[in-house]
Structure 1
């Protein structure tokens, strides 16, 4: 991302604008007038003496004399050097008096932000608490006349849970509002020309005081912004360490600190977003408990039908409270979650913009005298990129050495761990092999035992089969004998039947002849009285019975 300068039409202050804002309107951070940013960056003015650059040595004073300062004091405090396109430099040997180091202005404290000496995305919890409590009171005062409606009943007639839920929602909205105001101030500060090239084309140890004085003259509201804090910390670190490479490393750390600060400032909001559904579930439990208690009481009393109707109304009222509190809490959680996510994304984009600004306007202009100095500004953009790359490589050099040491240590640790793991696996494999051998031995013994048992059972079955075979043989013999006897009996019976049938046939033939002889003869059948049977004395006679009675 590149930047270009424009002038505010209201206060004639120089503003440094990112190309991403081209065609938009922003408020001037100095006079608050609306500034229309052009679509294309204005052309830069060419220097009056091309190829010649007048720069001050690190021990020089500021270039502009103050009111009441004599020309001699200014001349004595400055040690200019003239550099030509050939790279030669001539510096006078007269050194000025020692200057007093300019300190950056202390950060202005405000009710809208939390305490601390560095820029922060946190806001005052006390102020947000007061705003949230006031908003909750105003809300309940506004809904009091409509508390009998369906909407008003959600806040007034659903138990105690809607009151803390509403208060937490307004407290979270107050925090979001304060963070939005802080973010707006941060975005306005991004229009400031914090490190103007009019002060010095390069940032050297000698020009830091003039940059600090320029930063102190910026609007007071911008003193606690991420951009001013990052730039001031960077050039102060460069003043102390006098190393561009170390400054690059420090700026990377500060960028991570700012990103963590933004992420940490949303912790309390995440707690509120988590607490709102929990309160809704608590209301659900209370409502369901009330409904169940009412139902149990009505069933235990055993009242009339009217009493049961009243009890059912209480049950449905408890269920309504349960569902309404959960619905209200979920809606409030969504009302806080969506703008909180959008605001966090905007603050993360702001940190990215600050990183780009510092990379473009601070790190590329650092000159510690060991990386080409002001000559990089005369050798073109490619040299500046090379020098910046060298500064980054130098900054990463120490980290690279430390990384190599750590890699060596990790390699050693990895070797030891590999050996230990290999030894452990060998022990485990041996133990597994021993256990497997034991299991194989046990299984083999069990197999042999089972085979012996099966063989014994098979022998018993073979003996039983032999006995069955013998029995079957005996039965077969007996069956054959019986079959022979039956055949003989059938033969004898057949012969006897044939003889009887032959006799019957002869009798029938004789009968047929007798009938033929009778012919037409008359046959008289006369009944003849039977002769009395003689009396016989026997076992069953009367005499015997009489003898028996005697």
Structure 2
């Protein structure tokens, strides 16, 4: 088998570390949340709403990474167990227990890393070391039981991180409840109840969202750890079955001797000492576990009492705030009613004054109407007299024209008479005078 260097051992332990894969899973999850095609708002609300939700999710992914790594290891263990050939005395050349242990250990070394680093490979190496160190197969059955107990103890210890996270996740949820209720109480202001209601509900949302997330993740962890632990227990049971059915038959016990009896007594005393030491360790572990459990119970009771006190304080504060708000509303309503009544009285008085003014205006309009009627009658009389005056003026104009015509005719007669006197005064022949008078007479008549 190739020698494992410290750098390779460090890289292998780093790759198998749940802290690394838990951190990677957390980073990938929060990297994918903004680009989720579905349920993005739900994921942002329950996974990104508060720092406690980040912490709860990170712890959950750490525990899940631990379970996934254990599940992968169980799968490799089952594959190694299935590839293990049946161990029979016919396949070994040596007949003694020590020689068979050396030969079996050599075959295990050449079988490959998957089998050599599996639980079955470790069990075979432990059995071979026990047989080679003791020199016989005596006490192998008790040693197999002891190895089974150690394997069960290692299995129990390997779930310490998962159990711690399973216990811590609900505590974080309760802590989020306390923080959310504290935020809600801190943001309640009786003077600004309407405006601070959104902030109060936001704090309560943080409280209940963190609790719901913590309980859900804790439930998932419980079921997942149960499935993985059950698979590992089945694997250990299969390894125990292999040890009892093949390894015990492969190493038959040697006949007893005096030296072997002394060695057996020493080994029995050492075994009893180991058992007593193991019993003391188990008792101390049980006491420590009981102490932690009582501490957890007291812490949970303290949290529940604080939660109930916070709820009562919140209810009392809300009742006081609501009562003060109701009293303020009643006082405002009374002031509003008084103001409405005062305005109604003033409006009534104003309307009464307007009604009186309108009545006075109506009476003034009636007087004005009567005056206008009298003025209209006067205007009608004036119109009639104007018509008569126009007719008289027309008649006067006609008379003036007649008078002008008479004056013109009189002037014409005077002109004719002057002409006649002038003609008679001249010394012209009488015939010419007579002819002239005869010719001018018709013209004068025509002119007249």
Three-state SS of the structure 2 residue aligned to 1:344 is helix
Three-state SS of the structure 2 residue aligned to 1:367 is coil
Aligned CA RMSD, in angstroms, stands at 3.4
Q: Which has the larger strand fraction?
A: 1
Aligned partner of 1:210 in structure 2 is 103
Structure 1 residues 150 and 220, CA gap change in structure 2 (3 angstroms): closer
Which is greater in Rg?
2
- Quote how far apart the aligned CAs of 1:151 are: 3.5
Following superposition of structure 1 onto structure 2, how do residues 425-436 of structure 1 map, counting pairs within 5 Å?
A: none
Does residue 184 of structure 1 match 2:84? Answer: no
Aligned partner of 2:23 in structure 1 is 133
Number of residue pairs matched by the alignment: 263
Aligned counterpart in structure 2 of residue 256 of structure 1, from 142, 149, 165: 149
- Quote how far apart the aligned CAs of 1:162 are: 0.7
Three-state SS of the structure 2 residue aligned to 1:244 is coil
Unaligned 5+ segments in structure 2 are 257-263, 277-448
Aligned partner of 1:322 in structure 2 is 207
Structure 1 residues 402 and 264, CA gap change in structure 2 (3 angstroms): closer
Three-state SS of the structure 2 residue aligned to 1:161 is helix
CA separation in 2, counterparts of 1:289 and 1:268? 31
Structure 1 residues 226 and 202, CA gap change in structure 2 (3 angstroms): farther
Structure 1 residues 402 and 155, CA gap change in structure 2 (3 angstroms): closer
CA separation in 2, counterparts of 1:203 and 1:350? 30
Does residue 349 of structure 1 match 2:234? Answer: yes
Following superposition of structure 1 onto structure 2, how do residues 337-416 of structure 1 map, counting pairs within 5 Å?
A: 337-370=222-255, 398=268
CA separation in 1, counterparts of 2:3 and 2:242? 22
Per-residue CA deviation, residues 247-286 of structure 1 (Å, 9 max, x unaligned), is 3322221111111001110001100111111111111111
CA separation in 2, counterparts of 1:177 and 1:112? 19
Structure 1 residues 148 and 213, CA gap change in structure 2 (3 angstroms): closer
Task: Check the 8 A contact 1:128/1:178 in 2, yes or no.
Answer: yes
CA separation in 1, counterparts of 2:237 and 2:114? 21
CA separation in 2, counterparts of 1:132 and 1:229? 28
Structure 1 residues 213 and 194, CA gap change in structure 2 (3 angstroms): farther
Aligned counterpart in structure 2 of residue 193 of structure 1, from 80, 85, 101: 85
Structure 1 residues 336 and 148, CA gap change in structure 2 (3 angstroms): closer
- Quote how far apart the aligned CAs of 1:219 are: 1.9
Q: Which has the larger helix fraction?
A: 2
Structure 1 residues 155 and 184, CA gap change in structure 2 (3 angstroms): same
CA separation in 1, counterparts of 2:71 and 2:184? 44
- Quote how far apart the aligned CAs of 1:106 are: 7.1
Q: TM-score, normalised by structure 2?
A: 0.53
Aligned counterpart in structure 2 of residue 175 of structure 1, from 57, 62, 66: 66
Aligned counterpart in structure 2 of residue 144 of structure 1, from 34, 53, 64: 34
CA separation in 1, counterparts of 2:138 and 2:2? 26
- Quote how far apart the aligned CAs of 1:110 are: 5.7
Following superposition of structure 1 onto structure 2, how do residues 263-278 of structure 1 map, counting pairs within 5 Å?
A: 263-278=156-171
Task: Check the 8 A contact 2:16/2:69 in 1, yes or no.
Answer: no
- Quote how far apart the aligned CAs of 1:139 are: 1.1
Q: TM-score, normalised by structure 1?
A: 0.43
Aligned partner of 1:236 in structure 2 is 129
Task: Check the 8 A contact 2:97/2:137 in 1, yes or no.
Answer: no
Task: Check the 8 A contact 2:138/2:253 in 1, yes or no.
Answer: no
Aligned partner of 1:162 in structure 2 is 53
Unaligned 5+ segments in structure 1 are 1-103, 115-123, 372-393, 407-550
- Quote how far apart the aligned CAs of 1:166 are: 0.9
Task: Check the 8 A contact 2:170/2:214 in 1, yes or no.
Answer: yes
Aligned partner of 1:494 in structure 2 is none
Structure 1 residues 238 and 211, CA gap change in structure 2 (3 angstroms): same
Task: Check the 8 A contact 1:162/1:325 in 2, yes or no.
Answer: yes
Three-state SS of the structure 2 residue aligned to 1:149 is helix
